[in-house]
Chain A
Amino acid sequence: MGLLNRLNDPYEGGGFALGTVEDILNWGRSKSDWYLQFGLACCAIEFMAVNAPHFDFMRFGTIPRTSPRQADFIIISGTVTLKMAERIKRLYEQMSEPKYVISMGSCSNCGGPYWEHGYHVLKGVDRIIPVDVYVPGCPPRPEALEEGMILLQKKIKHEAIFNKRKRIAEEDRKLGLNYQSNI
């Protein structure tokens, strides 16, 4: 009785919210992403500034985790040398699904200022691991990195959890990619 009376005012004494299970799961997943603590060069210093109180990265629900097994995503901030690239690949393979990658700064997007003469620099971390969000800048402003995080949250929110293969195949067909699948 009391419940049916309150159906029309959601803010007086409690109310209902209706949604799909997938919405709620994705909302929880995107707003509490835990990242692997990983900083390489100057972008790492900028990332430390974003974590500091003035720009406050933790309000997105992110907590730094030291082990790749416990992390949801990784922020590659800084120059990726060839010596470090093998270790990054190993760390990425150790993270458990679902995992995401934010590439912060010019050096991990495309090689950055070392694109021409850098004999020791990997020109872009997307040569070894798949990247979800690219944040340009050298280093990016803290507001730019926060926009990158918001974009990652949006990407996670629209991700399919149930009937994943079928829905991804439908989206690809809408984009024009016709491939053979038995879905």
Chain B
Amino acid sequence: MQAQEIYDKLKEQFADAVIELKADAPSDPFIIVNGSELFKIAQYMRDKEEFDFDYLVDLIALDLGENLGAVYIFSSMKHKHRIALKVIVPKNNPKIPTLENLWRTSDWLEREAWDLMGIEFEGHHNLIRILNPYDWEGHPLRKDYVTPEEYHGMKVPY
């Protein structure tokens, strides 16, 4: 199934939560989706027989200046098609519903997005740091991050 077909089918199911399809980007085509309806859209994509997206390939977090973005890439083992969904949230309130109950891998993928970019996933059972030390402050991969001077008595800069 091509990206345009997936977009049309989603559009007739969830009318205004599915915002637009960007097929002319230099990357693979992706669909921009509203953050508040993400759980229902993802569940529909996983359960509907003609989509059957049973594999969450990756969760990519973006820093877009004033907003934060999250890109989910889904893939289907049976139908062998792939689509990306993009969700954009404001930086001062970055809340996205968690997909932990649908795909088990999103447990750690969302923990990584929280640790490095600061996107909060509502409903996640254990949203703590996974790569940085547990009492680290700040979200390092944001563009406005400043390296701390010292951590637990160790000098951090060179």
State the CA gap A110–B151 with chains docked (Å). 17
State the CA gap A131–B152 with chains docked (Å). 21
With CB as the reference atom, state the residue of chain B lying closest to A123: B158
Confirm or deny: B26 has a beta carbon within 8 angstroms of a beta carbon on chain A: no
With CB as the reference atom, state the residue of chain B lying closest to A82: B151
Q: Which of chain B's residues 125-158 have a Cβ closer than 8 Å to chain A?
A: 132-133, 140, 145, 147-148, 151-152, 154-158
State the CA gap A126–B157 with chains docked (Å). 14
| Closest Cβ–Cβ distance, residue B77 to chain A (whole Å) | 33
State the CA gap A83–B132 with chains docked (Å). 7
Q: List, in ascending order, chain B residues with CB within 8 A of A117's CB.
A: 147
State the CA gap A122–B152 with chains docked (Å). 12
Confirm or deny: A115 has a beta carbon within 8 angstroms of a beta carbon on chain B: yes
Q: List, in ascending order, chain A residues with CB within 8 A of B152's CB.
A: 82, 86
Residue picked from A115, A120, A123, A127, most chain B C-beta under 10 Å: A120
**Complex partner residue of A83 from B133, B156, B158, CB under 8 angstroms:** B133
Confirm or deny: A95 has a beta carbon within 8 angstroms of a beta carbon on chain B: no
State the CA gap A7–B46 with chains docked (Å). 90
**Chain B interface residue number, banded:** 10 to 19
State the CA gap A111–B147 with chains docked (Å). 15
Report whether over half of chain A's contact residues are helix, strand or loop; otherwise say mixed.
loop
Tally of contact residues, A, Cβ under 8 A: 15
Whether A82 touches B156, Cβ cut-off 8 Å, given contacts A119-B147, A119-B148, is: yes
Q: List, in ascending order, chain B residues with CB within 8 A of A115's CB.
A: 158
State the CA gap A86–B133 with chains docked (Å). 11
Whether A82 touches B145, Cβ cut-off 8 Å, given contacts A120-B132, A120-B140, is: no
Chain B, 87-128, contact with A by CB distance < 8 Å: what is the 0/1 string?
000000000000000000000000000000000000000000
Confirm or deny: A63 has a beta carbon within 8 angstroms of a beta carbon on chain B: no
B interface list, Cβ under 8 A from A: 132-133, 140, 145, 147-148, 151-152, 154-158
Q: Could you give 14 example pairs across A and B, Cβ below 8 Å?
A: A82-B133, A82-B151, A82-B152, A82-B154, A82-B156, A83-B133, A86-B152, A110-B158, A117-B147, A119-B140, A119-B147, A120-B132, A122-B156, A123-B155
A interface list, Cβ under 8 A from B: 82-83, 85-86, 110-111, 115-117, 119-120, 122-123, 127-128
